[in-house]
Amino acid sequence: MRVLVTGGAGFIGSQVVSALEAEGHTPVVLDALLAAAHPQVPDIPDVEFVRGDVRDAEAVRRVLRGVDAVCHQAAMVGLGKDFADAPDYVACNDLGTAVLLAAMAGAGVRLLVQAGSMVVYGEGRYACGEHGTVRPGARTVADLERGRFEPTCPRCGDGLLPGLVGEDDPVDPRNVYATTKLAQEHLAAAWARSVGGTAVSLRYHNVYGPGMPRDTPYAGVASYFRSALARGEAPRVFEDGAQRRDFVHVRDVAGANATVLAGIGELPAGHHTAYNVGSGEPRTVGEMAAALATEHGGPQPAVTGEFRLGDVRHITADSSRLRRVFGWRPTVGFAEGVAEFARAGQRASAGVV
């Protein structure tokens, strides 16, 4: 297939391009190379490349000619700096997706794989010994300031056991980025129903690996730790470091995109489906920081007790639906992936020479 990859020059997008080429597809890259993500021109994949913004309807219409499917990776990611970033998130993520889908409707392109995110869930899945599965509310500033980081049962106040979150669990976006990612899914679902298209949202968990941007508020926690080590500093671990995450290697995420594109034609038209993409190996944030520090040979992490509003305590993936429907399996284990990432280079970010 001829596949348009929006954001195909980015950290994940460039790996998706490579995975598609390996499967015999013909990727076409559309990327605006915005300074916030690309202060320096990155290494462009050796495929057809169009510099353009996904919010530019004419540019999108031109690049869709002859395209069979779209792999939509372009997005503004991370928690950002503060709420003042909200207009940029909405413009890049939601307006950009709407412009793309409208152009696809006009061009007759009916297959979409969209980069989703686990942030749509808010907190993960929890069980109370007395009340079973429960949904804890947002953690309060007062509790966080006292070092009470673990959510409690909203009915009895007892401690909770975190588990794996599935795609049918309730969504509860708790920051601007999460809200825009959920809106992207709703737009994709509306597009599929309207035009008879097939849309898949891959809810990436904590993606890491070579080529992550450095020294930026718009990257994941693994990038923060790796950036500190590159500066010769100890990684700063917020809260107590016991936050559970599913760290999934970028090549496995790229492979999930290629696998879904190979089988998306077998899914029913007119529908949207979400799939978790995780490693299946939950780890704590503290474990990631310590493993990176050891492999890099840098200072060991400093657990600070600091916190960020909008962060959740535990979120780990049940990726069994993706495995069952498409046969996808992660191939990069935690130890192998961290060892590679600790020694690999990072992309420069805005303000970094």
Domain assignments of the chain as residue spans, ordered by start = 2-124+165-343
> Which range is least confidently modeled, 174-178, 283-287, 329-333?
174-178
How high is the mean pLDDT of the chain?
92
Q: How far apart are CA 340 and CA 188, in angstroms?
A: 35
> Which range is least confidently modeled, 105-109, 135-139, 310-314, 342-346?
342-346
Computed over its alpha carbons, how large is the radius of gyration of the chain? 20
> Which range is least confidently modeled, 11-25, 194-208, 271-285, 305-319?
305-319
pTM attached to this predicted model: 0.93
Q: Which pLDDT band holds residue 137 (cuts at 50, 70, 90)? A: confident
Q: Which pLDDT band holds residue 350 (cuts at 50, 70, 90)? A: very low
Percent of the chain with pLDDT over 90: 83
pLDDT for the residue numbered 353: 33
pLDDT for the residue numbered 315: 94
Q: Residue 123's closest CA among 133, 135, 140, 132?
A: 135
Percent of the chain with pLDDT over 70: 93
Query: Residues 143-150: what's their mean pLDDT?
Result: 96
pLDDT for the residue numbered 310: 75
Does pLDDT of 64 surpass 70?
A: yes
pLDDT for the residue numbered 351: 41
Query: Residues 184-208: what's their mean pLDDT?
Result: 97
Does pLDDT of 213 surpass 90?
A: no
Return the C-alpha torsion angle 223, 37, 167, 276, nearest 10.
-60
pLDDT in tens, 235-283: 999 999 999 999 999 999 999 999 999 999 999 999 999 999 999 999 9
How would you list the strands of the sheet with 48-51, edge to edge?
48-51, 26-31, 2-6, 69-72, 111-117, 198-204, 271-277
In CATH terms, the fold of domain 2-124+165-343 is Rossmann fold (3.40.50)
Q: How far apart are CA 271 and CA 191, in angstroms?
A: 9
Q: Which pLDDT band holds residue 214 (cuts at 50, 70, 90)? A: confident
pLDDT in tens, 78-108: 766 678 889 999 999 999 999 999 999 999 9
Residue 262: both structure tokens together: 């190979």
